[in-house]
Amino acid sequence: MVEATLPRRAGLRAGLLTAAALLAGVPPALAAGGALGASAAASASASAAATVPFQPPVAVPTAADPALEARMLAITGELRCLVCQNQTIADSHADLAVDLRQQVREQIKGGMSDEQIRRYMTDRYGDFVLYRPPLKPTTLVLWLGPGLLLVLALILLTVVIARRAKLADDRFEPDPVLDDDADDAPRAPGADLSARPGASA
Amino acid sequence: MKGALRFLVPLAIFFTLVGFLAVGLRLDPREVPSPLIDKPAPDFALTRLDAPAQTLRRADMLGKVWMLNVWASWCEACRDEHPYLVEFAKTRAVPIYGLDYKDQVEPARQWLAERGNPYEASLFDGNGRVGIDFGVYGVPETFVIDKQGVIRFKQIGALTPQVLADKVLPLLRKLNG
């Protein structure tokens, strides 16, 4: 990792900028060099960084075909890895995920559509691998549940407010008297302030 | 009455939540129901671990009920499972075939030599492609496949004597009966 050769702060910034530069298509060495300059001006600790020769990142995947790689990542980014279940197949370093990414690459080369590839995965591992579960009878509660809960809550809220609006004033406890000492317990108006231990003349 | 409700309703909601959480604790998120149950076993043609010149195919297995046990010499849990398989093989309840998943030939052969070989044959799946077709994601896994080549049972993780007695044996009786 490139961060290891740099002080912590500069390394983090350089890493972030490198990632941003890769997305924007700027050569990473340029962007990271800029980051070093910027952080050298910003912090004293980075002055040491200026003496460390910048090394180009080595962890960037050198895919033979960036378009294929992008499509593979787009597909596997929506698929759950079976081994570490909170990661996508695109993210995971599990052996199976590495194999499945290779499988997807070959399937793309073989001309399979995204839909066919997803189908290939669900045929083997079930809907569980899909981070976006399909809408079907067994997943109706999943899809509609939150909306229903929201509607129910709104109805309940409306009913409660409407009821309380009709109640007479004496059904409510009187509002506490607010003054500067908002954190104090409510007390009767006109209470003697000087009697309290905290108050000074 | 109204006063009582004020306390009973939150209490009821609380116990409902506790109930959900208690059930959730008992569920194993690693046990993903396989979509392959009651589906035809995927096609395969693999060489035998002990005789690389011989190939075994799905079609060769039709007409008998058989068990496919996915194992590997690098797999820790397989070590715990193996003695049960060796014992189970002695009962001759079902022919057990191995799928040696993402393994190397020599360590795998040595593993069987040391621990005993419960398998009629082990299919050598060095690159794991057949494993993927069987939806394998946690070795060991075990499948029971019927005479028509349909997968009828899948165990994710190690077999235990209890699983064999409670699930596998009754199923075998049904499939063979």
B87: CATH: 3.40.30.10
Instruction: State the smallest CA–CA distance between residue B30 and chain A in angstroms.
Output: 8
What pLDDT score was predicted for residue A153?
Answer: 97
Is residue B88 within 8 Å of B118, Cβ to Cβ?
A: yes
Instruction: State the smallest CA–CA distance between residue A184 and chain B in angstroms.
Output: 29
Is B10 among the domain residues? no
What pLDDT score was predicted for residue B5?
Answer: 84
Q: How confident is the model at residue A25 (pLDDT cuts 50, 70, 90)?
A: very low
Is A200 among the domain residues? no
Asked if the Cβ–Cβ distance from A126 to B132 is below 8 Å, we say no
Q: How confident is the model at residue A174 (pLDDT cuts 50, 70, 90)?
A: confident
Residues A78 and A119 in one domain: yes
Is A198 among the domain residues? no
Residue A156 structural domain:
138-169
Per-residue pLDDT at A33 exceeds 60: no
Instruction: State the smallest CA–CA distance between residue A178 and chain B in angstroms.
Output: 29
Is A40 among the domain residues? yes
Is B12 among the domain residues? no
Per-residue pLDDT at B133 exceeds 50: yes
A74 interface with B at CB cutoff 8 Å: no
Q: A142 CB contacts (<8 Å, ≥6 apart)?
A: A133
Show residues of chain A in contact with B43, CB under 8 Å: none
> Which of B35, B132, B137 lies closest to A103 in CB terms?
B132
Cα separations in angstroms, A15 against A41, A92, A167, B153: 18, 20, 61, 49
Residues of B numbered 87-116 whose beta carbons fall under 8 angstroms of chain A's beta carbons: which are they?
102
Percent residues over pLDDT 70 in chain A: 57
Residue with the bigger pLDDT between A169 and A112: it is: A112
Among chain A residues, the shortest Cα distance to B32 is held by: A128
Task: Provide the domain count of chain B.
Answer: 1
Cα four-point dihedral sign B81, B144, A126, A90:
positive
Q: A138 CB contacts (<8 Å, ≥6 apart)?
A: none
> Which of B32, B33, B137 lies closest to A96 in CB terms?
B137
What pLDDT score was predicted for residue A51?
Answer: 54
Mean residue pLDDT across chain B: 92
What pLDDT score was predicted for residue A45?
Answer: 44
Is A195 among the domain residues? no
A103 interface with B at CB cutoff 8 Å: yes
Is B165 among the domain residues? yes
Bridge partners for A84 per DSSP = none
Residues A82 and A114 in one domain: yes
Q: What is the pLDDT of residues A41-88, one digit of tens each?
A: 444 444 444 455 565 555 545 557 888 899 999 999 999 988 887 889
Percent residues over pLDDT 90 in chain B: 83
Per-residue pLDDT at A173 exceeds 90: no
Is A96 among the domain residues? yes
Show residues of chain A in contact with B156, CB under 8 Å: none
What pLDDT score was predicted for residue B87?
Answer: 94
Residues A87 and A45 in one domain: no
Is B91 among the domain residues? yes
Q: How confident is the model at residue B69 (pLDDT cuts 50, 70, 90)?
A: very high
**pTM for the complete prediction?**
0.66
Is B1 among the domain residues? no
Q: How confident is the model at residue A197 (pLDDT cuts 50, 70, 90)?
A: low
Residues A32 and A83 in one domain: no
Is B170 among the domain residues? yes
Is B129 among the domain residues? yes
Residues A79 and A97 in one domain: yes
Is A193 among the domain residues? no
Bridge partners for A130 per DSSP = A79
Show residues of chain A in contact with B102, CB under 8 Å: 95
Asked if the Cβ–Cβ distance from A125 to B102 is below 8 Å, we say no
Instruction: State the smallest CA–CA distance between residue A126 and chain B in angstroms.
Output: 5
Mean residue pLDDT across chain A: 71
Among chain A residues, the shortest Cα distance to B31 is held by: A82
Cα separations in angstroms, A70 against A27, A100, A132, B90: 18, 15, 19, 52
Q: Tell me how far apart the alpha carbons of residues A142 and A145 are, in angstroms, rounded to a whole number.
A: 6
Per-residue pLDDT at B119 exceeds 70: yes
What pLDDT score was predicted for residue B75?
Answer: 92
A27 interface with B at CB cutoff 8 Å: no
Among A20-34, A98-112, A169-183, B88-102, the minimum mean pLDDT is found in A20-34
Q: A110 CB contacts (<8 Å, ≥6 apart)?
A: none
Per-residue pLDDT at A145 exceeds 50: yes
What pLDDT score was predicted for residue A67?
Answer: 87
Q: What is the pLDDT of residues B29-57, one digit of tens each?
A: 777 778 889 999 999 999 999 999 999 99
Residues A81 and A110 in one domain: yes
Residues A97 and A118 in one domain: yes
Per-residue pLDDT at B17 exceeds 80: yes
Residue with the bigger pLDDT between A121 and B34: it is: A121
Q: Which residue has the tokens 């607010």?
A: A178
Residues A71 and A125 in one domain: yes
Residue with the bigger pLDDT between A179 and B153: it is: B153
Is B60 among the domain residues? yes
What pLDDT score was predicted for residue A126?
Answer: 87
Residue B50 structural domain:
37-176
Task: Provide the domain count of chain A.
Answer: 3
